[in-house]
Amino acid sequence: MSQLFAPADHSPELLARLHLQAVLPAFPELMKHSEAACQLMLKQRFRLRFSCRDLSAELCFNRGRCRYRSHPRARPSIHLRYLTYPQLNRGFSGNACSLPIPRLSPFHIPKLLTFSKLSAQLKAILESTRELSTAQKLLHFRLALRIALAAATVLIDHEAFSNSLLGEAQDWAVRFRLEDTDLDLWIGRRKGCLTWRENFSAPAVAELHFSSIDMAHRSLQGTLDNMAAMNEGGLRLKGYLPVAERLSLVLERVPLYLQTSQPVS
């Protein structure tokens, strides 16, 4: 519905921010919960930086583990530098003709090729259209929800419509939980700083609690009847609901920019 109020901002810089600050943070979660991804990178140890103009982000791989850094400092093992935002966006969209300027030792080329395989795994999970098992649905939900919440923080900070909804100075927070799992994600503004975190102990003014992975997955796919789900107890909303509703409008806008997930509402 939010797209009825304002069309997508076609700024290449905004899309580049979403790629670097919302998509890349999904890799640590993929490595943590996918045995195939972990095994692929089990023998790898390197730092991979992406940059364009003033924007940069880094993935640090260390024998089956991965860490995302939004403000990298030390010299990376591999540096992929894009000259323009459109070039970076085409590269992240899978355009093989939009190659960055690589800075790396020839000895690191196999590591870059291995990362390409890891990227293909992430893309396959997020864009799968086949029937998924319960474990596959949970992994998809973990990844897509993280991307959506990270993207929401970018939109609130840098998109006019989303900023008008939740860009005010006062603190707010919404928590997402999935029953019988460790999934607990928090997004909000705390002490003037907008962020999203995992298993964050700070209180939230509103909370969305899903009773099952099927319910959560249907919500992410946009096929869940929220009112029916609440009446049946499959979706519980508590707290200050106007904040959750405004965040829902922001989350609806994520697929306008990134096709890796559907809105959670």
Q: Among all chains, which residue has been given the structure tokens 């969209």?
A: 93
| Cα 133 from Cα 122, distance rounded (Å) | 17
Q: What element of type H or E holds 172?
A: strand 172-178
Per-residue CA distances from 181 to 91, 117, 171, 194, 210 (Å)? 35, 28, 28, 26, 10
| Cα 184 from Cα 188, distance rounded (Å) | 13
Q: Among all chains, which residue has been given the structure tokens 């997508």?
A: 8
The answer to whether the CB of 58 falls within 8 A of the CB of 20 is no
Q: Taking 70 as the threshold, does the pLDDT of residue 19 lie above it?
A: yes
For residue 101, the model assigns a pLDDT of 86
| Cα 67 from Cα 39, distance rounded (Å) | 16
| Cα 190 from Cα 204, distance rounded (Å) | 10
Asked: is 12-127 a CATH 3.20.20.70 domain? The reply is no
Q: Taking 80 as the threshold, does the pLDDT of residue 113 lie above it?
A: yes
Angle at 14 between CA 13 and CA 15, to 5 degrees: 90
pTM of the entire predicted model: 0.91
Q: pLDDT band for position 263 (50/70/90)?
A: very low
Span 95-111, pLDDT tens digits: 766 788 889 888 899 99
The answer to whether the CB of 55 falls within 8 A of the CB of 17 is yes
Q: In terms of DSSP H, where are the helices of the chain?
A: 2-5, 12-18, 26-33, 35-40, 85-92, 109-127, 134-158, 160-166, 213-221, 226-232, 241-257
Residue ranges per domain, the chain?
Answer: 12-127, 131-257
Class of domain 131-257: alpha beta
For residue 4, the model assigns a pLDDT of 58
The average pLDDT across 17-26 equals 97
% helix, strand, coil for the chain, step of 5: 45, 25, 30
Q: Which amino acid is at 210?
A: F
The average pLDDT across 62-86 equals 93
The answer to whether the CB of 151 falls within 8 A of the CB of 18 is yes
Six-digit token string for 129? 């259209």
Nearest to 137 by CA among 221, 67, 201: 221
For residue 261, the model assigns a pLDDT of 40
Q: How many residues does the chain have?
A: 265
pLDDT above 90: percentage of residues in the chain: 65
For residue 104, the model assigns a pLDDT of 87
Task: Assess whether the region 12-127 and the region 131-257 belong to the same CATH fold.
Answer: yes
| Cα 69 from Cα 151, distance rounded (Å) | 16
